[in-house]
C-alpha cells in the first residue's frame, strides 16, 4: 500500500501526519508504517520529539476499519476460525500500540479532529495529548455503541489516566468528550484554540525539545516500569536511571556538583546521544568518548561494555584515580 504518512523534521521535532482518507481508519498497514517511521527516528540525533497528527481535516482517527474484520469470504460467525482471526487483530493492535508507547523519545498527539475508538487508543499510547477546541471534535472509546469493546489497549490505558470510575462510564456509555471536558478530567494535557492549533502544538514540542534528551528518555522508562510492572520495579528503575542521568553531560553542566572533583571532558550533543542505556543497566560508550568519559563512568561504579582500547584505558584511568583517592 502507498505511503499513508507525511513525515518532516524541523528544529529537532519530527512531525508525522497520518493520511488515509477519508477518516484515517486504522488498518494493519497504517500501524506498520507508524512503527517504521518511529524506528527511523528513534536513534536520530536530529529528532528529540515526535508530533503525531492528521493530514485530514476534522479527523485525527475515527477508529478501526470495520471492514478489515471480515475474511475473504466475509464475516462468518459460524466459523470458529473467525473468532480467532478477530482476536488476533486485537492482539496485533495491542502489540503495535505498546511498541508506540515505548518509543524512547517524547511523543505528542496533536489531536486535530475526532479521535474515536482506535483513534482514542492511539492518543492514549502517546506521552502528551493536545486537542483542538473547535466545538466539534470529540474523543472517546465508542466501541460499545457498535456492540464491540476497545481492542487496542483502551480498557487498560484509559483507567490509568482518568480513574476506573470515569473510564467505566466512558467505555460502557460510549461517551464522547470535547476538548475542554477531556482536559477537565485529565484525558488530555490541554485544549488548544482551533485558530493556530498546529503552530501552538509545534511550539509545545519545540520547548520540550530543548530539555535534556537522555534525561527524558530515562524518565519515560521509569514511568512505564511503575505503570506496567509494579511500584517496586518502578522505584528500582527510577534509582538506576537517576544514577545514569547523573553521568550525562547535561547533568554535569547544569547541576555542577559543587565541591566535588568532576572530570570536565566535553562532548558534543551527537556524542552524548550515543550513550545508549540498555535494560541491563550498562552504558554503551562510543569509541570517540575517550578516556575521560569512560573513566568517569567506571569510576562511578557504572559498568561499561566496550572492547575498544580507549575503554580499557578508561578503566585503568578510573582505577588509578580510585587508588589515589584512597
Within-domain flag for 129: yes
Average pLDDT, the chain: 84
Count of the separate structural domains present in the chain: 2
SS3 of residue 48 by DSSP: coil
Share of the chain above pLDDT 70, in %: 76
pLDDT digits (tens, 9 = 90+) for 19-39: 999 999 999 999 999 999 999
Residue 280 bears catalytic tag:
no
Q: Which of 255, 276, 309 is the last residue of a domain?
A: 255
Written as nine digits, the cell of 78 is 459460524
32, 72, 121, 173: which is the annotated catalytic residue? 121
Within-domain flag for 288: no
The verdict on 39 and 143 lying in the same domain is: yes
The verdict on 128 and 251 lying in the same domain is: no
Q: Classify residue 212 by its DSSP letter.
A: -
Alpha-carbon span 134 to 194, nearest angstrom? 5
What is the mean pLDDT of the segment spanning 99-117?
98
Q: Residue 77: what pLDDT? A: 80
Residue with cell 465508542: 142
Lowest model confidence (mean pLDDT) among 5-19, 55-69, 251-265:
251-265
Cα separations in angstroms, 162 against 158, 216, 316: 6, 23, 52
pLDDT at residue 197 above 50? yes
The verdict on 251 and 190 lying in the same domain is: no
Written as nine digits, the cell of 37 is 517511521
CATH number at residue 85: 3.90.226.10
Within-domain flag for 290: no
Within-domain flag for 320: no
pLDDT digits (tens, 9 = 90+) for 260-304: 666 655 555 555 555 544 444 444 433 333 333 443 443 334 444
In our burial notation (b when 16+ CB lie closer than 10 A, e otherwise), range 215-235 reads: bbbbbbbbebbbeeeeeeebe
Residue 238 bears catalytic tag:
no
Domain interval for residue 160: 5-210
> Would you place residue 238 in the very low, low, confident or very high pLDDT band (cuts 50, 70, 90)?
very high
The verdict on 40 and 92 lying in the same domain is: yes
Tell which residue, 243, 307, 235, 296, has the closest CA to residue 267: 296
29, 78, 84, 143: which is the annotated catalytic residue? 143
pLDDT at residue 51 above 90? yes
Amino acid at each position: 500500500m502507498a505511503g499513508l504518512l507525511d513525515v518532516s523534521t524541523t528544529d529537532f521535532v519530527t512531525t508525522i501526519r497520518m493520511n488515509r482518507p477519508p477518516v484515517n481508519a486504522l488498518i494493519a498497514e497504517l500501524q506498520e508504517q507508524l512503527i517504521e517511521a518511529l524506528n527511523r527516528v528513534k536513534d536520530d540525533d536530529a529528532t528529540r520529539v515526535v508530533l503525531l497528527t492528521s493530514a485530514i481535516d476534522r479527523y485525527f482517527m475515527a477508529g478501526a476499519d470495520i471492514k478489515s474484520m471480515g475474511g475473504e469470504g466475509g464475516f462468518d460467525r459460524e466459523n470458529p476460525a473467525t473468532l480467532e482471526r478477530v482476536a488476533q487483530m486485537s492482539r496485533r493492535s495491542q502489540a503495535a500500540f505498546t511498541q508506540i508507547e515505548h518509543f524512547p523519545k517524547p511523543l505528542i498527539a496533536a489531536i486535530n479532529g475526532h479521535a474515536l475508538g482506535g483513534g482514542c487508543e492511539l492518543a492514549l499510547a502517546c506521552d502528551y495529548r493536545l486537542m483542538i477546541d473547535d466545538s466539534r471534535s470529540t474523543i472517546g472509546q465508542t466501541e460499545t455503541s457498535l456492540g464491540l469493546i476497545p481492542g487496542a489497549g483502551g480498557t487498560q490505558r484509559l483507567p490509568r489516566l482518568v480513574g476506573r470510575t470515569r473510564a467505566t462510564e466512558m467505555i460502557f456509555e460510549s461517551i464522547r468528550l470535547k476538548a475542554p471536558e477531556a482536559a477537565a478530567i485529565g484525558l488530555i494535557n490541554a485544549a488548544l484554540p482551533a485558530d493556530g492549533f498546529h503552530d501552538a502544538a509545534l511550539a509545545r514540542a519545540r520547548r520540550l525539545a530543548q530539555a535534556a534528551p537522555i534525561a527524558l528518555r530515562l524518565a519515560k522508562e521509569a514511568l512505564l516500569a511503575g505503570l506496567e510492572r509494579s511500584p517496586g520495579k518502578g522505584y528500582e528503575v527510577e534509582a538506576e536511571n537517576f544514577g545514569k542521568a547523573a553521568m550525562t553531560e547535561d547533568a554535569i553542566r547544569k547541576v555542577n556538583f559543587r565541591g566535588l572533583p568532576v572530570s570536565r571532558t566535553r562532548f558534543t550533543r551527537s556524542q552524548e546521544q550515543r550513550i545508549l542505556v540498555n535494560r541491563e543497566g550498562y552504558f554503551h560508550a562510543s569509541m570517540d568518548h575517550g578516556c575521560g568519559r569512560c573513566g568517569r563512568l567506571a569510576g562511578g561504579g557504572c559498568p561499561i561494555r566496550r572492547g575498544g582500547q580507549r575503554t580499557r584505558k578508561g578503566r585503568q584511568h578510573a582505577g588509578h584515580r580510585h587508588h589515589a583517592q584512597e
